[in-house]
Structure 1
Amino acid sequence: MRTRRKGSGLPEPHTPWEEIVPGLWMGGHYWLDGAGTVHPVVADGRFDVVVSLFVRPDHGPPPGVDHRVAEIPDGPLTAEQLVTVRKLAQGAAQDVAEGRRVLVRCYAGFNRSGLVVGQTLVDLGHSPAEAVDLIRRRRSRHALHNGLFAQYLTTGLDVAALLAGLDAPS
């Protein structure tokens, strides 16, 4: 599984996570402090649900926290992967609506988590453009820098899955 490309020119995350809307958090597996020290991010018991699109040993969450794992690449997604993202977002939207605290995370907390959080925001009533803007204002202006993921949100994950399925070998 490919993670973030080295030398991408993007800054490292400077916080473990941010709250995008009440109850919905977005983050990664590490962050860099002002002195340049890298710190691991361990999802702890402050969250009711953790959605991991990238996993590392010993990064949580602890037992008792609902942990949903679906490792996906930071690149073009298959129809099946897009359906998985859609289901994760639907579940996260329902959890947030029911008052649960949800963390969606990937490696750095910019792209894959941004796709799931973006679709969750759409499911909660935001337009795709509003969702992308909100994520970039709250997490980082570099979030969703993978233009394909922003296009998936604009197109709609259901339509994107249908289109991706057209390219699949029969």
Structure 2
Amino acid sequence: MKTGRKGGAPDPGTPWDEIAPGLWMGGHHWADAAGQRRPVVVGAEFDLVVSLFSAAGHGPAPGVPHRIVPVPDGPLDAGQLAAVQEAARAVAAAVGSGRTVLVRCRSGYNRSGLVVAQALVELGAGAAEAVRRVRAGRSPWALHNGLFVEYLDVGLDVARLLVSLEALDSS
């Protein structure tokens, strides 16, 4: 299987996976059974698509609500953490009202995992349970960015405060 990202993480074996009823997680590429890298193009399969990374030609179809929330797969600043929280709340609200939601990033492991896990927290799961469900539903590679797991463990509100304080110290 080809690796799709730095650090040796393989491309996922599916375009997207259901993590909880109505809550799906995916990326922009996947590897088919022969190990060939394929683009993921979203049509109208979902009621809402949230993209933490976006690329032209990957959908969704016209008319499908699409929230683009660009965040890096690395340390996040307070504004980026707030954007993750806002996206997770929107995802949780949509799923809670019976809508189907796809949260995606480049590979469908870290950034999408952070938002999906936080949405699960918003829906009542504990952080450790949310991380477990993301990894069980998507891949053991999901949330391999340990910093994102730390954000979830301390809570995104606390993480935002700590990041803000660090920014003040360095200025």
- TM-score scaled by structure 1? 0.95
Alignment of structure 1 residues 4-15 onto 2, 5 Å: 6-15=5-14
TM-fit CA distance, 1:168? 2.1
Residue 112 in structure 1 maps to residue 111 in structure 2: yes
Residues of 1 paired with 2:156 and 2:6: CA distance? 29
Residues of 2 paired with 1:117 and 1:42: CA distance? 20
**Helix, strand or coil at the partner of 1:68:** strand
Runs of 4+ in structure 1 off by over 6 angstroms are none
TM-fit CA distance, 1:166? 1.0
State whether residues 4 and 11 of structure 2, in contact with CA within 8 Å, keep that contact through their aligned partners in structure 1.
Answer: no
1:166 maps to 165
Letter in structure 1 aligned against 2:138: R
Identical-residue share of aligned pairs (%): 57
**Helix, strand or coil at the partner of 1:163:** helix
Give the aligned CA root-mean-square deviation in angstroms.
1.4
**Helix, strand or coil at the partner of 1:167:** helix
Where does structure 1 lack aligned partners over 5 or more consecutive residues?
A: none
Letter in structure 1 aligned against 2:66: H
Residue 89 in structure 1 maps to residue 82 in structure 2: no
Letter in structure 2 aligned against 1:77: L
Higher helix share: 2
TM-fit CA distance, 1:38? 1.1
Residues of 2 paired with 1:66 and 1:7: CA distance? 31
Residues of 2 paired with 1:34 and 1:8: CA distance? 22
Q: How many residues align?
A: 167
Residue 62 in structure 1 maps to residue 61 in structure 2: yes
TM-fit CA distance, 1:167? 2.0
1:137 maps to 136
2:45 maps to 46
- TM-score scaled by structure 2? 0.94
State whether residues 11 and 30 of structure 2, in contact with CA within 8 Å, keep that contact through their aligned partners in structure 1.
Answer: yes
State whether residues 17 and 24 of structure 2, in contact with CA within 8 Å, keep that contact through their aligned partners in structure 1.
Answer: yes
1:26 maps to 25
- For residues 5 and 28 of structure 1, do their structure 2 counterparts lie closer, same or farther at Cα, with a shift above 3 Å needed? closer
Residues of 2 paired with 1:156 and 1:106: CA distance? 21
Where does structure 2 lack aligned partners over 5 or more consecutive residues?
A: none
Letter in structure 1 aligned against 2:118: Q
State whether residues 4 and 107 of structure 2, in contact with CA within 8 Å, keep that contact through their aligned partners in structure 1.
Answer: no
